[in-house]
Structure 1
Amino acid sequence: MTPTPPDYQHLLTAVKQRVREAQYRALQQVNQQQIQLYWDLGQLIAERQQEHGWGKGVVENLASDLQKEFAGMSGFSVQNLWYMRQFYLEYSTNEILQPVVGEISWAKHLLIMGKCKDPQERLFYILQTRNNNWTKAVVAQQLKAQAYQKTLNAQHNFADTLASAQLPAATLALKDEYTFGLLALTPEHSEYELEQALLGNVRRFLIEMGGDFTFIGNQYRLELEGQEYFIDLLLFYRELQCLVAVELKITEFQPEYAGKMNFYLSLLNERVKKPHEQPSIGIIICQSKQRTVVEFALRDVNKPIGVATYTLTDTLPAELRPFFPSNDELVRRLDARGRRPANPGGRNALKLLNCKCGAVG
């Protein structure tokens, strides 16, 4: 047997990466060609209807003939042909939507087109799907959760604390309300229990946060003048290349939360942020808030901070179940790794879980 060269693993890793990149580019090209085909067919049908008064019967005949001619291809049903017509008519006359029609798959376009009528809302979901590589199931979940409306209503001081070039991406990174599912928590849950429930399924948590985040750690330790401080969750926002500190509060928002977060961001920028990264952003997630109180609390704060609320659900949509472990499987994994704290009720146990994780989801 030929001995393995010392650098073989590096070569293998590089080759695998190249193959995956080529596969992804090929899939993108196939998707773009399919969207272009459906666009052209929709245009032909719309124009013939306008010029020659095509009716329902002609489209039905067209579908039947196409299915016979291209027996190995799907997508030529009567309903899909009508969708192509609708797609062309609604997107071809819109200057903001037409340039991005080839960015996502047809199935995702149908979901967005069926649920959203406002062009700006459609653009939001198309760009978020493209930027975060959302699957069809995730797109459906985000539509159901009204991610667009929650982003529009989000409260923050980004306009006063961030450069104009950073503002659009930062705004998209914050929702007014987050829905944390799969959390078996009682109404009287503690902040520790909420944090651990989110950590139990980091992938779903990051999807709810927006998808372009990576997880750095929980109870992230900072030190100043011999005193220790702990940030509940520390993330990295890839779009802006910045750290994001997340504080979890099971109470109504209090003005002092903003001051504490401002302090954390100053420390992160001074002690943790790398030279090439943008200034850190803070997100405070509370059980409830008074919008006027939040507005006044953020008015004179000089660091970028957003304030949101959260709701809990314990039901996972059927289409998402294959992507997430069951509670029993999660317990089994944690037991196998020896990461379950000996005293789940003790706040100090969090320090034992101050783990550093790579990119997830």
Structure 2
Amino acid sequence: MQAVDSSSLSAQAPGYGDFLVEIKSQIRQRQFQALRAANRELLALYWWLGENISQRQAALGWGKGVVENLARDLQVEFPGRNGFSAQNLWLMRQFFNEYSDKPKLQSLIGEISWAKNLLVMARCKGDLEREFYLRATARFGWTTNVLRHQIDNHSYAQYLNGQTNFDAAVPDTIKAQALLAVKDHYTFDFLGLAEEHSERELEQALVRNLRGFLSEMGGAFTFVGNQYRLEVDGKEYFIDLLLFHRRLRCLVAIELKIGDFKPEHKGQIEFYLDTLDQQHRLEGENPPIGIVICRSKTKTMVEYALRTMTRPLGIATYTVTPQLPVSYRNDLPSPEQIAARLQGWAASGEDGEA
């Protein structure tokens, strides 16, 4: 008598496949919620410890020796828990003191891990800068290494200085991701190019150093091709570089310019984006995005060019040496403008990685 395969019978039961998918989704969701709750409880404990150490120092005159003795006693009681080292206890005290009078930031610190909080606390001094990295880390699920990379790459300044028309031209579902995905300035110091070079030399050097190029672009890009061929009415046109952003799920056309940004560059990239959208965008993909990377630009010129642009476009600059434009130091928006922009971002309610 042939054995009956119970798994085959179950798989054939009406609605079984959909129910299995639902169970898996519920398990993953509950596991994530449990981890999130555990992280909040741990941070609440660290906050309580930091608060009480700070208060006892002020009221009872506790010094360095008392805190070090406390660390030893806790490690004896809870062996293997390195979270109670003297260094960590001092960090808990700093954690409480840094955020005790900042309710807006208090609502955000519980959303990310202790290690990420320490990184933000150590590397970011202003409240608005900290708010940016706390929100972005929680929303996009940045790992500690990704967060460190974002800070190293001045993502806060890039986000604030970025000149795009994404607010009007990108779907709300990916707007925040897109604003973070396109930088305002790129450093191609890994190319070994001389200061004077042609657009073709720049393009070929980027293709030869593809790993470094994609890393500088932000990590979520994949390479599609260079001198990517388009055909319209029997005529050929070529995009300098074509990438695909995996999380935005869209093609990204890049035009390289070794001089100043000019208004005619907008018309060229807009034509490419129209053609990509009509002829090359696959089902399920978002409309393509364009980036013009030029040697220099003026904010007013870019603002005028973007005002009538209907396709998503960002205008960025580049250098072949590790330096940032002077504008990063002098032209950040006012604190009120920054706060309003972060608040608008928070209100968008978008989730997902960037």
Q: Which amino acid aligns with 2:59?
A: G
Shift of 1:125: 2.8
- Residue of 201, 204, 213 corresponding to 1:193: 201
- Residue of 54, 66, 72 corresponding to 2:74: 66
- Structure ranking higher in helix proportion: 2
What is the alpha-carbon root mean square deviation over aligned residues? Answer: 3.3
Larger deviation, residues 280-289 vs 86-95: 86-95
Q: Residue 301 of structure 1 aligns to a residue in which SS?
A: coil
Q: Which amino acid aligns with 1:295?
A: E
Structure 2: distance between partners of 1:234 and 1:170: 16
Contact preservation (8 Å) 1:36, 1:102: no
Does residue 167 (structure 1) correspond to residue 175 (structure 2)? The answer is yes
Give the direction of change, closer, same or farther, for the CA distance of 1:127–1:262 in structure 2 (3 Å limit): same
Q: Residue 47 of structure 2 aligns to a residue in which SS?
A: helix
Structure 1: distance between partners of 2:71 and 2:298: 55
Number of aligned residue pairs: give it.
291
Shift of 1:305: 0.9
Contact preservation (8 Å) 2:170, 2:312: yes
When normalised by structure 1's length, the TM-score is 0.69
- Give 2:63's aligned residue: 56
Q: Which amino acid aligns with 1:122?
A: R
Give the direction of change, closer, same or farther, for the CA distance of 1:113–1:165 in structure 2 (3 Å limit): same
Query: Between the two proteins, what is the percent identity of the paired residues?
Result: 49
- Give 2:86's aligned residue: 78
Unmatched 5+ stretches in structure 1: 1-21, 316-361
Give the direction of change, closer, same or farther, for the CA distance of 1:73–1:186 in structure 2 (3 Å limit): same
When normalised by structure 2's length, the TM-score is 0.70
Contact preservation (8 Å) 1:154, 1:176: yes
Larger deviation, residues 53-62 vs 269-278: 53-62
Shift of 1:32: 7.4
Q: Residue 309 of structure 2 aligns to a residue in which SS?
A: coil
Q: Residue 250 of structure 1 aligns to a residue in which SS?
A: strand
- Give 1:98's aligned residue: 107
- Give 1:112's aligned residue: 120
- Give 1:267's aligned residue: 275
Structure 2: distance between partners of 1:101 and 1:206: 32
- Give 1:87's aligned residue: 95
Larger deviation, residues 40-49 vs 269-278: 40-49
Contact preservation (8 Å) 1:175, 1:308: yes
- Residue of 210, 217, 232 corresponding to 1:209: 217
- Residue of 267, 276, 282 corresponding to 2:290: 282
Contact preservation (8 Å) 2:53, 2:93: no
Q: Which amino acid aligns with 1:187?
A: E
Q: Residue 287 of structure 2 aligns to a residue in which SS?
A: strand
Q: Which amino acid aligns with 1:153?
A: N
Structure 2: distance between partners of 1:135 and 1:193: 36
